[in-house]
Amino acid sequence: MKLVFFAFKHRYRFKDLNNFLHSRVYGKYFLLNLGGPFRHFIAKILIKINLGFAISCDARPLIENKKSGINFFIRGTNLNIPTNFRHLDNNFVSIKNPFIEEKNIFQIYPINISYSKINDKPKIIFIGGANIDMNDNQKILWEKCKKEVLNEFTILDKKSFWEKNLGENNIKNIFVFYKKFKLLLRYEIIKYLKEKFDEKLILIGDDWKNYSIDSLSSNFDPNYTKNLYKGNICLDFGSAEGSSSLYSRSNGIIEAGGLILQSKQIDSKNIWGNLENKIIFKNFNSLEDLINELLNNEHSSNDILSNISGNFKHGKNLIERQLDKIFKSL
């Protein structure tokens, strides 16, 4: 059995990794959690004496020798890797960039999924922040493209859209606008749902009050989040950093026993298969139709919850294969 250990200094990374660090054995790999202010010093010692294989979150500590481990940037694509680290061939990321092919993806799958049934009177849940502040160039482009984006959310993942409207194909420059437009789209969807479903929508996050949208205060207690998700309809608009079906928020929803409704991502078909037309939306109409179906059909909602859980019943095996891929690449 191969020893693999996670290294990170700050405790908030526990939340990002969800249930992944709560299991020790993934097939042939024994996973040791050495995250936190004190244990990460032990990780540094193991890296120095070359014992085991390290996965260092955000390159803290930085691992330069690929035989010792990898640097795992858990909240982004290759564009989130600091420029002075990009030359290293042992960098991995968690989120796909829709504009370039990335082979260094370490995909974490949901595991240890809580059993749940849809609540008697399910709520629509979204937990997250809001930021619609724009510079002048972003305002001009948003006003120009807003109608097109709201008609087809997935257009933001198409490079041709940005080349046409920005007049350039520099991925780094495109991505600045991409991230801002993803947040603007999030705001527009929430505003739409607030008008349509009102009290059935539970919104968590202090930022929304800045834009005159009622919300409950931010709460970073993992148990609070899990209890809200379980048995409810849980919204996920994808990461602002890229386009991936499975990442920190979506994995957290699934593991808590929430019924995820997700905006279409570039890998939706591969991840969800036959579930795609039941939980994936790409415009206001498809989102509203899905929500109404789930609110009014308890049997269908429970079937979907069961199928979501079944979709990842071999989650640990899938993670083992991801670790195999990493070792093979190094």
- Secondary structure (H, E, C), 113-162: CCCCCCCCCCCEEEECCCCCCCCHHHHHHHHHHHHHHHHCHHHHHCHHHH
Span between the terminal Cα atoms of the chain, in Å? 18
Domain with CATH 3.40.50 in the chain: 2-111+315-329, 124-311
> What mean pLDDT is predicted for residues 197-201?
96
Q: What is the reported pLDDT for 14?
A: 85
Which fold, 124-311?
A: Rossmann fold (3.40.50)
Q: What percent of the chain has pLDDT above 70? A: 100
Q: Could you read off the pLDDT of 25-52 as tens digits, one per residue?
A: 999 999 999 999 999 999 999 999 999 9
> What mean pLDDT is predicted for residues 171-192?
96
Q: Kindly give, in sequence order, each residue whose CB lies less than 8 Å from that of residue 115, ignoring residues fewer than 6 positions away.
A: 257, 309
Looking at domain 2-111+315-329, which CATH architecture does it have? 3-Layer(aba) Sandwich (3.40)
Q: What is the reported pLDDT for 168?
A: 82
Q: Measure the CA–CA gap between 326 and 14, rounded to whole angstroms.
A: 21
Q: Are 275 and 304 in contact (CB under 8 A)?
A: yes
Does the CA dihedral 158-163-166-170 come out positive or negative? Answer: positive
**Partner residues linked to 55 by β-bridges:** 6, 70
Residue 54 region by backbone torsions, left for phi larger than 0, else alpha for psi between -120 and 50, else beta: beta
Task: Extract the tokens encoding 89.
Answer: 């061939």
Q: Where in 158-291 does DSSP place strands (E)? A: 201-204, 233-236, 259-263, 280-281
Q: What is the reported pLDDT for 330?
A: 83
Flag whether pLDDT at 20 surpasses 90.
yes
Flag whether pLDDT at 12 surpasses 90.
no
Q: Could you read off the pLDDT of 86-135 as tens digits, one per residue?
A: 999 999 999 999 998 888 999 999 999 999 999 999 999 999 999 999 99
Flag whether pLDDT at 288 surpasses 90.
yes
pTM exceeds cut of 0.85? yes
The mean pLDDT of the chain is 95
